[in-house]
Amino acid sequence: MKKQNFLLAMVLCCLSFPVYAETTADAEKNIRHTLQQLAPDETITRIRTTPFGNMYEVLLGPSVIYMSGDGRFILKGDLFDMQEHQNISENERALARRAIFASLSSNEYIEFSPEIREHIIYVFTDVDCGYCRKLHHDMPVLNKNGLAVRYLAYPRGGIDSTAYSKLEAVWCADDRQQAMTDAKNGKNVVSKQCSNPVANEYELGQKFGVRGTPAIYKANGEALSGYIPPDDLLDIVKN
């Protein structure tokens, strides 16, 4: 047997075993201690074992990393189950994103919804990007077909950017839907000061790994690509 075939067989063999078991108390203590030193502001959502002996899966909000039980080694990457053809890490991230979406209050997103809402997507958006505007122009078609869009703020230039100020003005407007539409049509939105979620949502998008806008997610936490034509988007969401 060739070396690469042997290694592949070993991987498949390992992945055929039950994936998770109870985390040992010592391992959890070591992992928490290491992360407390490295990232004291990060919340550890969960720690559990993997099929790889002394390697543990650690969920930090929507992020997944892997650590050795002594807390010494950290691996950042995706774990694939080749037998089930699944990205285990992405499945875990999707579950975490789903929980975060479910925890959001209506003040934190700007929703464009039909009278009868059948499906929901969450979209990290900027008001200046061309594809964000293109998606917004598709809104009548999406709403007509029962799809609600919940916008979250993601100023691509960061906290100190013009985009941030524009999004802040949108979230502080008396009519946020109209303000969003105006901003995406290149119109000026009167700036107001108010308590708003723009900074927090920008940080959340970074934790989600958002690299560009629009960043679209199904309500179950599944990540989609960037802009998707309305017919294709509706097919994806409904299936």
pLDDT tens for each residue of 25-83 = 889 999 999 999 998 888 898 898 888 888 999 999 889 999 999 999 999 989 898 88
CB-based contacts of 150, cutoff 8 Å, min separation 6: 104, 109, 110, 111, 120, 121, 122, 123
pLDDT tens for each residue of 36-51 = 999 888 889 889 888 8
Range 17-101: architecture per CATH:
Roll (3.10)
pLDDT tens for each residue of 88-141 = 999 999 999 999 999 999 999 999 999 999 999 999 999 999 999 999 999 999
Range 110-238: architecture per CATH:
3-Layer(aba) Sandwich (3.40)
The token duo for 87 is: 């990205």
Residues of the chain with CATH 3.10.450.70: 17-101
Residues of the chain with CATH 3.40.30.10: 110-238
Which amino acid, residue 52? F
